[in-house]
């Protein structure tokens, strides 16, 4: 028997002394995938390569495995703990590579990290990320691109990952030489990180020339070292991005939402253009893939990203698809059908689960289609298959929560389903699982 299993998630945070009889503060999520209704055209394009520039919603996978991000860039600012709006993101440390003179430069690194995992429009906000910043712009006296310290930063990352073993790692180096220049020391250092098991992502550069002539973009042919080029809203390579055989994959590089540390009150509304923005998007996709498949090698991670990429005249375009989701709204088709929503209309999503607390009982209710729900036998579907409520355990696994079921016909093909589950935990997370027999 073949089966397809999909989930609809809900989270309930319960705090004694507030709200209902036992006190409750309730919140809930519509699906196991994350959903941002206003992320911008670039994240939306990662779900669907042919979406219009006016489409700004973005669905993203959620995965519990932590990933360590080594960010080779400027320092990162965190005004008013803005990055704290993403509870899964931790800036573990910021290391100066070279001599620090005067206040740190924070512009570029802050923008890149906001694209990767910013709380307002970040791409990988569904993954726990530990960030180690390698600041290769410790002083403005260096000028240029900071490539002079890139090899030292790569060597520091090699030492750090060996000295402080931790989560699987992704390295983001959204920088490059401003003029044709090949640094074989940088090449060897990058290849060593890949051979050590780290995915390395770098950018094509913005000179409008052959990427093979610049550092580090020229090293893209190494499998597991991913070089990102920039496209516009028409999926066409922008004129200023470098091109050629080193480019492994393209991603949006025009008007990508970022946080400008010079204007933090505006939030993630700064529109960033350049291959750096594309590099950040590809880095985020690599982080997601690394979290979902932590045992894969860098070569396999790159191969997976390329295999899912959309085909375009410019080359492969990065995609972060949501499985079995025709309208890319973050809710699987089967869930939408079960809950009487339209799986082909991105603007229509199922009504969230209603969560309440009555004493030591969690009450979950939702509307379902009576053409699928078998009301005579709890937790079964007409034509085969089942549905059930899952509760997250202390080990982050999802287990059958059981419970008693009540159904009330509402007319028009709808049935109100109410599930009562004994629950004394202060914090509980629930999902609705639906499995259809093929």
* pLDDT attached to residue 146: 60
How do residues 333-369 score in pLDDT, each as one tens digit? 888 888 888 888 877 888 888 888 888 899 999 999 9
* pLDDT attached to residue 173: 97
Domain ranges for the chain? 3-31+327-437, 35-317
Residue 358 or residue 296, greater confidence: 296
**Local confidence band at 147 (pLDDT 50, 70, 90 cut-offs):** confident
Q: Is the pLDDT of residue 20 over 60?
A: no
User: Among residues of the chain, what percentage have pLDDT more than 90?
Assistant: 63
Predicted structure pTM score: 0.80
* pLDDT attached to residue 31: 53
| HSE-up of residue 407 (Cα within 13 Å, Cβ side) | 17
Please report where in the chains the tokens 């008013």 appear, as a residue: 80
* pLDDT attached to residue 396: 64
Say which range, 218-222, 379-383, 421-425, 430-434, has the weakest mean pLDDT. Answer: 430-434
Q: Is the pLDDT of residue 331 over 80?
A: no
Least Cα distance to 192 among 228, 147, 226, 222 occurs for 222
* pLDDT attached to residue 252: 98
* pLDDT attached to residue 32: 54
* pLDDT attached to residue 12: 32
* pLDDT attached to residue 46: 96
Multiple choice CATH, 35-317, 3.50.50.60, 3.40.1190.20, 3.40.50.200, 3.20.20.60: 3.40.50.200
Q: Is the pLDDT of residue 11 over 80?
A: no
Q: For the chain, what is the mean pLDDT?
A: 87
Q: Which residues contact 201 (CB under 8 A, 6 or more apart)?
A: 170, 171, 172, 173, 174, 225, 226, 227, 228, 279, 282, 283, 286
* pLDDT attached to residue 139: 55
Q: Is the pLDDT of residue 22 over 70?
A: no
Calculate the CA 224 to chain-centre distance: 19
Q: Is the pLDDT of residue 152 over 50?
A: yes
Q: Is the pLDDT of residue 391 over 60?
A: yes
**Local confidence band at 4 (pLDDT 50, 70, 90 cut-offs):** very low
């Amino acid at each position: 028997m073949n089966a397809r299993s999909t989930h609809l998630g809900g989270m309930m945070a319960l705090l004694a002394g507030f709200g209902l009889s036992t006190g409750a503060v309730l919140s809930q999520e519509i699906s196991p995938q994350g959903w941002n209704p206003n992320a911008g055209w670039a994240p939306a394009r990662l779900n669907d390569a042919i979406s219009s520039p006016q489409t700004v919603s973005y669905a993203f996978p959620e995965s519990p495995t932590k990933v360590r991000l080594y960010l080779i860039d400027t320092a990162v600012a965190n005004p008013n703990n803005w990055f704290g709006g993403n509870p899964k993101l931790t800036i573990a440390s910021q290391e100066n590579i070279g001599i620090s003179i005067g206040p740190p430069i924070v512009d570029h690194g802050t923008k890149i990290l906001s694209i990767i995992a910013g709380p307002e429009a970040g791409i990988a906000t569904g993954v726990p990320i530990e960030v180690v910043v390698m600041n290769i712009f410790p002083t403005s006296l260096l000028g240029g691109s900071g490539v002079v310290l890139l090899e030292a930063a790569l060597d520091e990352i090699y030492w750090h990952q060996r000295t402080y073993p931790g989560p699987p790692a992704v390295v983001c180096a959204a920088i490059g030489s401003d003029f044709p220049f090949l640094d074989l020391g940088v090449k060897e250092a990058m290849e060593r990180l890949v051979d050590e098991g780290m995915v390395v992502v770098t950018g094509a550069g913005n000179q409008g020339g052959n990427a093979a002539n610049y550092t580090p973009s020229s090293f893209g042919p190494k499998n597991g070292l991913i070089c990102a080029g920039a496209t516009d809203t028409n999926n066409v390579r922008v004129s200023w991005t470098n091109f050629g055989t080193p480019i492994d994959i393209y991603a949006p590089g025009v008007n990508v939402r970022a946080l400008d540390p010079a204007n933090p009150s505006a939030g993630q509304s700064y529109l960033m253009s350049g291959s750096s923005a594309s590099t950040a998007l590809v880095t985020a996709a690599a982080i997601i893939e690394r979290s979902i498949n932590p045992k894969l090698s860098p070569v396999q991670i790159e191969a997976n990203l390329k295999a899912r990429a959309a085909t375009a005249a410019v080359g492969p375009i990065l995609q972060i698809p949501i499985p079995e989701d025709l309208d890319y709204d973050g809710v699987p088709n089967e869930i939408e059908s079960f809950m009487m929503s339209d799986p082909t209309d991105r603007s229509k999503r199922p009504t969230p689960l209603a969560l309440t607390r009555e004493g030591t009982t969690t009450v979950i209710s939702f509307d379902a289609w009576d053409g699928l729900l078998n009301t005579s036998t709890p937790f079964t579907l007409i034509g085969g298959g089942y549905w059930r409520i899952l509760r997250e355990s202390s080990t982050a696994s999802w287990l059958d929560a059981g419970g008693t079921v009540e159904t009330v016909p509402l007319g028009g093909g709808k049935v109100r389903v109410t599930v009562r589950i004994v629950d004394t935990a202060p914090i509980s997370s629930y999902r609705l699982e639906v499995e259809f027999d093929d």
